[in-house]
Amino acid sequence: MKAAPSYRDTTRKCKSADLADVLRAAIRDSGLSARRLGEMTDVKQQTISTILNGQADIRLSTAQRLMDYFGITVMKGK
């Protein structure tokens, strides 16, 4: 199994809407299919495809699963 790329070291200030963009980039950069990523994160393939296409807002619980998998953390800014 291929290890997930780490996005922990990414230091940039994000607006709240940018979280979806960070997740999209992580998904694309992983090289995993929506089906395989879904199996590994317990997120439906259709949901991952919808996120990638920007067709819907991401539920917090879904974002958390993907963030956990990719090692993405959110820090409160000033």
Question: Which value, to the nearest 10 degrees, does the dihedral of the CA atoms of residues 67, 36, 28, 77 take?
Answer: 0
The pLDDT value recorded for residue 74 is 81
The predicted model scores a pTM of 0.73
Q: 37 lies in which domain range? A: 18-70
- Domain count of the fold of the chain: 1
36 in any annotated domain:
yes
4 in any annotated domain:
no
What gap in Å lies between CA 16 and CA 44, rounded to an integer? 23
Residue 29 has pLDDT above 70, yes or no: yes
What tens digit of pLDDT does each residue of 33-76 get?
Answer: 999 999 999 999 999 999 889 888 889 999 999 999 999 988 77
Locate 37 and state its tokens. 């990523």
7 in any annotated domain:
no
9 in any annotated domain:
no
8 in any annotated domain:
no
Locate 57 and state its tokens. 């807002």
| Backbone φ and ψ of 32, nearest 5° | -80, 145
